[in-house]
Structure 1
Amino acid sequence: MIKQGLLVRAAVPACVLTGGAVAGGVSPIAWATGLVFGLALVLLTGWGLQRTGRGEFGPADWITFARATLVGCAAELIADGGHPHAWLVGLIAVALLLDGVDGQVARRTGTSSEFGARFDMEVDAFLILLMCVQVAETAGLWVLAIGLMRYAFVAASWAMPWLTAPLYPSMARKTVAAVQGVVLVVAVAGILPVLWTVAAVVLALASLVWSFGRDVVWLARTRVPAARPSAIVAITRRRAAPHHGPTWPAHNQAA
């Protein structure tokens, strides 16, 4: 079963990415992008399954895998350039629409996992970065700050391990993340005047800086070890509970 899953994980992106390269004009850059992306997708998912002790994909993981393959096709078109935006916008739109479906499937089938959550997050992050690359061609390289911010956060966590602690649930964080996707899709589609597009992307970047800054300040003040996720739950409950004074030390208060 494991070998069969590996075969499917290799064959599906190979076929779809080949189709994407053909649609992209069979240029060397399109082929190279598809090859690198396909290999990375197969190898990294295999490494992730092994690292988390899972033998194979669950139902939701296959949906995320399909999204990742569509993102690979979008990467081919962006790398090659000079193609109608309709193809690119269509691929991105479908990939974004499927986001959330995998989470619902995982919950309904009882197959939620650390691997699935991380896989979904990495696909989202790479898709955002791809859209930033596309938008940067007209708006400027500063747009890349949106796509690179998450990777900068990960790099910073190597030097500051307290950044890897789980974060408390936040609707504001989810809203900001959704705003990035919507604004960048609109920017890629080019349906607004350039000035309006730039203004929207600036606001999206500002909201992302606020969201990351808010979380970094909270993590710096709480300093909860990543090995103690239960402490995050306890702190979150305290935040939600009404009180008339501080219920935990000042250095643990959230921003």
Structure 2
Amino acid sequence: MEYRHVPLVEQFEKVSSHEDTFYAVLLLGAHSLLCFSASDTGTNLTYAKCIFPSYPQKNEIQNIDPCLHEPGKLPRMAPPDWSSFDWDVFERRRDPTESSTKIGGALGVSHRKILNSYKRILRDCSIWIPFFPNGYGNYTPYFVSFETDYETGFVEELKKIDRSSYVYRIDNTMLLNLFFEKRLEIDSILQLEKKGIIHDLRVSSPMYSFERFQSQQGIPEPGPSPSRP
């Protein structure tokens, strides 16, 4: 949602209270609100990934150059073809202390059926465990959105730095949640626009976030879970 001149606090609180919302961020800058939610009509979130970095780093964030790679678009992420039973297993598996036997008892099935469903679920999931060597609170987060022919190049370059980044694509727009040690490092992204590598650049900074499965608010650490089809 584009910027409306004042923070959309009421709208943020409203979407955060919706049962289907699993991630929302109140923003300042070019956009005012980011929200990911489950929907029966599909989703325009076509890609989501937590980048696992290089440590020690192979490059600095202000020096990333997606043009070192061939132009390429990221693969389109399809909603998982899960049954309602699979979704029930997925929700319960968020608690690592619950055994397959306990979940099976709650759902009225054998633990083996739970394990078989869980194996199918794992094939459709990606690891979302970020790494911040200086501690999460010692970085300045930004959300930057743009269009580019070098989507895959950005992913490869972000793998070279020493901290995680979150990569999304919404329709044809790439959205990066980047973490800088110094605020001036954001200038490196502006330079990419001047060079014509990216266009329609929008920059925002987060104020508050909601992540349903963490049950807390604050500057966003987590990313989205799979979208219910």
TM range (shorter): under 0.3
Give the TM-score taking structure 1 as reference length: 0.24
Looking at secondary structure, tell me which structure has more strand per residue.
2
Looking at secondary structure, tell me which structure has more helix per residue.
1
> Highest relative contact order (Cα 8 Å, sep 6+), 1 or 2?
2
Give the TM-score taking structure 2 as reference length: 0.26
> Which structure: larger Rg?
1
